[in-house]
Structure formats: C-alpha cells, structure tokens
Amino acid sequence: MTRIEKQVVIGRPLNEVLAFARDWRNIPKYFDYIQTVKPLTDKTDRPGAKLLVNLTFMGRKMTSEWEVMEYDAAKGWTVKTPLMGIEPTKTWSFVPAGETTRTSFTLEYEPAPPVIGPLVDGLLLRRKWDKLCERGMLNLKRIIEAEPTK
C-alpha cells in the first residue's frame, strides 16, 4: 500500500477553509493537474455522490469518475478516485487551530499489477504523486490566504 500524506496550516478560520475546499468547482484551482470537474449526481456533499474529473497525468489526458465514500461537512471527506486500473482514495481533513486551520490530505493506493506495479510505483509514480499532492496543498494554502478576510 502506498500512502502519501501532506499537511499545511492555513491562516484562516475553519469555516472559511471548509467553504472553499468543500466546493467541487475549486478543485482545479489548487490541484492543477485537474482541468475540469463535473457533478454526475444532484448532491455532491454526501456518500454516493459522483464527479466526472478530467485530468492530465504524466502527459496523458484522462478521465476519472470520483465517488464520495465518507462526508462530514465540518471535518472532511474521503473520495474514491479510480485511475489507470488502480482504486486510490483521497482524504481531506480539517482541524481548527485558533484562527488557523490544520489541513491534511492523504492519498492511498495499492500499486498494480502485483509484481511490476510496486516497482513502477517506487521508481516513478510515488514521486510524481508526492509532488502533485505537495503542490496542491501549497496552492490551497496560497489561494485561501490570498482571499480578503471575511
């Protein structure tokens, strides 16, 4: 199992960070490898909600159908994000820390196929995902902190 974890402290209160991060339309603003996100269900804020995500990974344009697995509007959510025959999960969590918010992101996946997958993951994919996740979290912090205080 590959697990990539990133954390940032965003200099804004929890309610402001959640308001931005919960809105699926903002995902391409901070995860810059994602071009578009389109809801496939009426509600996007509950388990079972689905989103069609168009992205570019390693120079290839791809589509993924994300499904919300867990959702707590005040704490975070987990989304299944299938891609290239793998079933990764992405988890966002938010914890207030005074007037700031500790924001965590975790990507977990099982490399496939069994023998070659872990080798390719160790040599290439894990580093690529690690950089994309790091950049996404720093973008999230930068964007939210640049907004005028409410």
Q: Give the domains, in start order, of the chain with CATH numbers.
A: 2-146 (3.30.530.20)
pLDDT digits (tens, 9 = 90+) for 38-75: 999 999 999 999 999 999 988 999 999 999 999 999 99
Say if residue 150's pLDDT is above 70.
no
Amino acid at 17: V
Residue range 9-22: mean pLDDT, rounded: 96
Amino acid at 103: T
Q: What is the mean pLDDT of the chain?
A: 93
- Cβ atoms of 109 and 81 closer than 8 Å: no
CA distances from 62 to 46, 67, 92, 99, 111 (A): 25, 16, 22, 38, 18
Strand partners, 25: none
CA distances from 25 to 108, 119, 122, 142 (A): 23, 35, 32, 17
Say if residue 114's pLDDT is above 80.
no
Type and span of the H or E element at 16: helix 14-22
**pTM value surpassing 0.85:** yes
- Cβ atoms of 93 and 104 closer than 8 Å: yes
Q: How far apart are CA 128 and CA 124, in angstroms?
A: 6
CB atoms < 10 A from the CB of 116, how many?
10
- Cβ atoms of 69 and 92 closer than 8 Å: no
Please tell me the predicted confidence (pLDDT) of residue 121: 79
Please tell me the predicted confidence (pLDDT) of residue 53: 98
- Cβ atoms of 49 and 41 closer than 8 Å: yes
φ/ψ region of 15 (left if φ > 0, alpha if ψ in -120 to 50, else beta) reads alpha
